[in-house]
Chains A and B, each alone.
Chain A
């Protein structure tokens, strides 16, 4: 009878983790919105715009790419990186998940590092691809920006969290560390 009891207990933990994930995410998002004026220079300018501009110069060698604190420009196009375009919302999902799902602390930190790298790369790919789409097929931009990439970023975070919080692997690591 151990199987179903453990199963039921795990499901309880899973449900509780989902609820805590939502609550912590709401708290983190509120903090982010409240401190956006303090963080935007770094989170948008340094972490997103500058590397994305470098990648665009690399992928579009014939185009004159310039950038400032919150936008990437060509003579024909200005792409503004606004709040929400910096990937912090999905990163907040990742941070909240790593904090609420049961796993050893070492695994939490590793998950934060790998997840952060994954989301950073994904968001740079998002900005670069959207810039290319805006240059070549402007009529695709809205759906690519508002639907496809938003969904992809959330699903990527969800997939990472599902894979990283896999209970069997976590319990195996817990036993290994104990």
Chain B
């Protein structure tokens, strides 16, 4: 990598990071909107204790609504009814994923034609990573509230089934907490980094160089014009 291509790479990254960061904070709802559907779906299929989820963006805040469905029984023997729940999450960290994905998408030294062709892949990667991160945040907030606040105030039956079910909930909460700690420990933006690069692993129909290879002098053999 030459000094020129390194400087070009850094310039592109800084410029795209600044522009996208400005865009996502100026219009947060527009960027959070495509994330809300996949987030609700991921929470629905990922968390066995939440159902009928809907997620929407309200400015920079993400609002998740759903029913808490916990199969525990009360001390009187009756099952715990479904209870609606609402969780609010600040979308700042979700939005920063977009800035990082597009900054790293702009980094490799390749033609702009190919870069633009890969923009939808980067966008898809950003939405998927953002939805996954947000679904973990919502599950963590919901499970913490359910386990440590809501259930703690209910007269639950002291049965073996209840203990077993509660143990499973705790286990699930530990898994979610580990993933959340991974995200907070840099994993969130690392996934964004991978999402920005993943498009360059897709085969390209021309003989173009791989993603991390800079566009250097042509490697094709020169054709003699006046061959005799």
Contact = CB atoms under 8 A, between A and B. Distances in A.
Given A146-B93, A168-B216, A151 B201 contact: no
B31 to A, nearest CB: 13
B197 A18 contact: yes
Interface residues of B, number: 46
A121 B211 CA distance: 28
A59 interface: no
A159 interface: yes
A22 to B, nearest CB: 6
Nearest to B10: A159
B121 to A, nearest CB: 13
A93 B186 contact: yes
Given A146-B93, A162-B107, A7 B210 contact: yes
Interface in B63-106: 92-93, 95-96, 99-100, 103-104
Interface in A40-56: none
Contacts, number: 120
B213 A168 contact: yes
Interface string A7-30: 110110011001001100110011
Contacts of A3: 207
Given A84-B185, A155-B104, A168-B216, A163 B192 contact: no
B198 interface: yes
B210 A151 contact: no
Given A3-B207, A151-B100, A14 B212 contact: yes
B193 A158 contact: yes
A29 B185 contact: yes
A146 B92 contact: yes
B201 A11 contact: yes
Contacts of B203: 7-8, 11
A154 B92 contact: no
Interface centre among B21, B184, B211 (most CB of A within 10 A): B211
Interface of A: 3-4, 7-8, 10-11, 14-15, 18, 21-22, 25-26, 29-30, 32-33, 83-84, 89-90, 92-93, 143, 146-148, 150-152, 154-155, 157-159, 162-163, 165-169
Contacts of A167: 210, 212-213
A147 B21 contact: yes
B212 A154 contact: no
B208 interface: yes
A168 B217 CA distance: 11
A10 B212 CA distance: 10
Nearest to B12: A159
B145 to A, nearest CB: 23
Interface in B188-221: 189-194, 196-198, 200-204, 207-214, 216
A159 B210 contact: no
Nearest to A21: B194
A41 B96 CA distance: 31
Given A8-B203, A14-B211, A155-B104, A29 B186 contact: yes
